[in-house]
Amino acid sequence: MKAFVVDKYNKKGILRLAEMPEPELLDNDVLVEIHAAGVNLLDSKVRTGEFKLILPYRRPFILGHDVAGTVVRVGSKVRKFKPGDDVYSRPRDGRIGTFAEFIAIDEADVALKPKNLSMEEAASIPLVGLTAWQALIERATLKNGQKVFIQAGSGGVGTFAIQLAKHLGATVATTASAVSANLVKGLGADVVVDYRKDDFEKVLSGYDVVLNSQDAKTLEKSLKVLKPGGKLISISGPPDPEFAKAQGLNLVLRLMLRLLSRRIRSKAKRRGVGFSFLFMWAQGDQLSKITSLIESGAIRPVVDRVFPFEATNEALTYVETGRAKGKVVIKVS
């Protein structure tokens, strides 16, 4: 099968289009013929080796973390799916590889594709949808009437998280450029801060939750937005000791991550707020709940551009510019 692979970690390197063997099907796996694959900034970070200590892939490996397609074969122990089912997924770490024609995925990581979405729209959902779900519902336990600040509202995670937060009954603030203001307001944002003109920490206060996706400087500014007892959840780092423990990392890596996050954890403690790092995980049951929200009309996908499979490197470069409104998708078949 054709696939785009990482041969070596390189910040300026490109993915190689290669002929790869069809993936091995384990007892609990479904083999999916890929119709579309979402492109994420995570793909870029994995390609450059930013996560190689946490995610030690053996090169060459196929890149890609989002998929929508059709089940063509199932393992002997699979009970939830059958050949012909249209599905979508964020395959678990260690078994990624959606920039290809086929992928084998553990059925626990798979959900039926929303009936009202095209394959390209469905492929835009899993990683950002699960990130928002795990941040706002699992970690923040966001409730009706609370206030949440979601950074970068026009990005992939932002466009989904705004809609999920509004569905939960929260008041939502976000940052966006003037060009993107109407987009995020249309998704449900109540307060839009133009990051090119205003400092959000001077405009916002008394928030229950902040979802941080930006740099370390923005992370520290976010503490000022929260009320005592609030929660700062970061999907862009730094990883904290709880994450290191959950990943089963060795003692040296645990110490490294403790030191990396010490500054923000100390500042959060002094302000009486909580800090945690979220590295989203594959979860088919949560994705099924997201399917229900999409089919009910509570959440809609936001797709910026669809690239042909042959232009996968161009799609990744476009994502790296940070200019995409919503998600970028590759059409495979």
| Mean pLDDT (whole number) for 169-184 | 97
CA distances from 122 to 2, 38, 48, 259, 324 (A): 22, 9, 27, 39, 17
Q: Name which residue leads in pLDDT, 230 or 237.
A: 230
Predicted pLDDT at 200 = 98
Least confident of 49-58, 64-73, 114-123, 130-139: 49-58
- The answer, yes or no, to whether residue 13 has pLDDT greater than 90, is no
When pLDDT is cut at 50, 70 and 90, the band that residue 296 belongs to is very high
| Mean pLDDT (whole number) for 120-147 | 98
Could you give all domains of the chain from N- to C-terminal order, each with its CATH number?
A: 2-125+301-331 (3.90.180.10), 127-277 (3.40.50.720)
Give this prediction's pTM. Answer: 0.97
* Contact in structure between 236 and 212 (CB atoms under 8 Å): yes
- Comparing CA positions, the residue from 208, 206, 202 lying closest to residue 221 is 202
Predicted pLDDT at 153 = 98
Mean pLDDT of the chain: 97
pLDDT in tens, 57-82: 999 999 999 999 999 999 999 999 99
- The answer, yes or no, to whether residue 11 has pLDDT greater than 90, is no
Predicted pLDDT at 50 = 92
- The answer, yes or no, to whether residue 333 has pLDDT greater than 90, is no
| Mean pLDDT (whole number) for 173-189 | 97
Predicted pLDDT at 193 = 98
